[in-house]
Amino acid sequence: MFERTLVSALSALALCVSAAASAQQSASSQAAAPSAAPRPATAVPVDTATDLTNGWALLAEGKPAQAAEKAAQVLKGDPRSISGLTLAIEADLARSGVEAALGQYEQWLGSRTMEEPGVVRRIAQASLHMEAAQRQDTAIRLQALRDLAAAGDATAEAALSASLAGGSGSEARILAARGNQKAIAVLIADLKKQATNTVLAIDALGQSGSRQAIPVLVEQLSDPKAEVRGSALSALGRLGDKDVIQQIKPFLADERAFVRTSAAGALYRLGDDSGLQILQELISQPVPSMRLAAADAMSSRPDGAWMALVRDLTNAPEAEVRASAARLIAPHDPALATSVLESLLTNENPAIRDLAALLITDVPLDLTTLRRLMRDTNRLTRVRAAGRVLVLTR
């Protein structure tokens, strides 16, 4: 892709140089003619076009430092030049990486509030490609590949398929949760063979949005372990198929409270209020985590009372409850959600920091905020922010 972009840029700039030179020669030969046409205001100056052409050529030759010098010359003459900025960004990405490119862009932007979406997108792509190439953190790598593939990157899509073919159960769960059809099929097969972590696999299938997962999830309802039954009920509720309502209702009388609550929540998500009394009893409890469970189950039909409940939970003593409450309130009050999650990004508990990093980029954020989060100290935050930039600028 870079080679095609470079060839196009060089060709276009060469035409600019040629046109500008011809215009200059023509203007000189006709200087005495009163009717000589003035130079078009939109024409690229010869020296600028030459610097840009030479800069891209130097970059193609593997000389980013020299290319950066050419970009600097262009920006010195026109500090707001998009062409000069683009060359400078590519040179910085080649020689110093994403941090330098962000610094270059922010210096160019200065105090202006109008972002250049294409430039921010290019830096975000570079950030994701860098993370997709590393092998130390599988979850980070797969997140980067997934975001690139969703943006139409064929190489990333191929890498995802390769990861699934030779990867572990965790890779299948990560991909299935994001709707990858091959991973969903693998996870269903593993569940049937009991060859995976059952609860984690059920949760991933519940997030997948795939109706293919419904039969195997229904099978899990007969499991003797309460955590499996409860997880399967919650997953069925998230998938949204009302045909399973009658299969869920009997679990409102389960011997385990966790299962009863899961059944009530699943039914509520499916538009059935048979378990509403169970959820209302949870709301009245003094324990924040119990009220959060009810709020989560009832999030599909928020009303004023629900909003008040969740806002109150954003002030709960437990950091995990505050983070989850922020996730729930985000679609309705993104400013509050962002404030809560940003405060948790510096929490002393690394698990809480990771949770906040995972959740904050799901909040509706503008390009400026996402760009700032691409500099965050939390690696997951940076990756998730870059992925959201691709979504916002598609």
Cβ-Cβ contacts under 8 Å for 89 (sequence gap 6 or more):
101, 104, 105, 119, 122, 123
The whole-angstrom separation of Cα 346 and Cα 360 is: 13
Report how far residue 55's alpha carbon sits from residue 59's, in angstroms, rounded to the nearest whole number. 6
How far is CA 260 from its chain centroid?
34
Residue 43 zone, left/alpha/beta (φ > 0; ψ -120 to 50; rest): beta
Q: Single out the residue of 333, 259, 332 nearest to residue 301, CA to CA.
A: 332
Largest CA distance in the chain: 100
Q: Are 307 and 329 in contact (CB under 8 A)?
A: yes
Residue at 62: amino acid letter = G
Residue range 168-272 forms a domain whose CATH class is mainly alpha
Length of the chain counted residue by residue: 394
Judge contact between 59 and 67, C-beta under 8 A: yes
* The predicted structure's pLDDT at residue 14: 44
Using alpha carbons only, give the angle 379, 383, 385 rounded to the nearest 5 degrees: 115
Which residue has tokens 């010869």?
A: 46
CA distance 146 to 217: 25
Exposure b/e, 174-192, CB count within 10 A at least 16 = b: bbbbbebeebbbbbbebbe
Question: Which residues neighbour 31 within 8 Å (Cβ) at sequence distance 6 or greater?
Answer: none
> Residue 73: helix, strand or coil by DSSP?
helix
Q: What is the pLDDT along the chain (394 residues), one digit of tens a residue?
A: 444 444 445 444 444 444 444 444 444 444 444 445 555 656 678 899 999 999 999 999 999 999 999 999 999 999 999 999 999 999 999 999 999 999 999 999 999 989 999 999 999 999 999 999 998 998 899 889 989 988 999 999 888 878 777 666 777 888 888 888 888 999 999 999 888 899 999 999 999 999 999 999 999 999 999 999 999 999 999 999 999 999 999 999 999 999 999 999 999 999 999 999 999 999 999 999 999 999 999 998 999 999 999 999 999 999 999 999 999 999 999 999 999 999 998 899 989 998 998 898 889 889 999 999 999 888 888 999 999 999 999 9
Identify which of 299, 292, 242 has the alpha carbon closest to the alpha carbon of residue 272. 242
What is the domain partition of the chain in residue ranges? 2-20+44-120, 168-272, 285-362
- Helix-strand-coil split of the chain, %, nearest 5: 75, 0, 25
87 and 119 Cβ atoms separated by less than 8 Å: no
Q: Which residue has the tokens 């990333």?
A: 156
Supply the DSSP string of 356-389, one letter for each residue: HHHHHTTS---HHHHHHHTT-SSHHHHHHHHHHH
* Contact call for residues 383 and 143 (beta carbons, < 8 A): yes
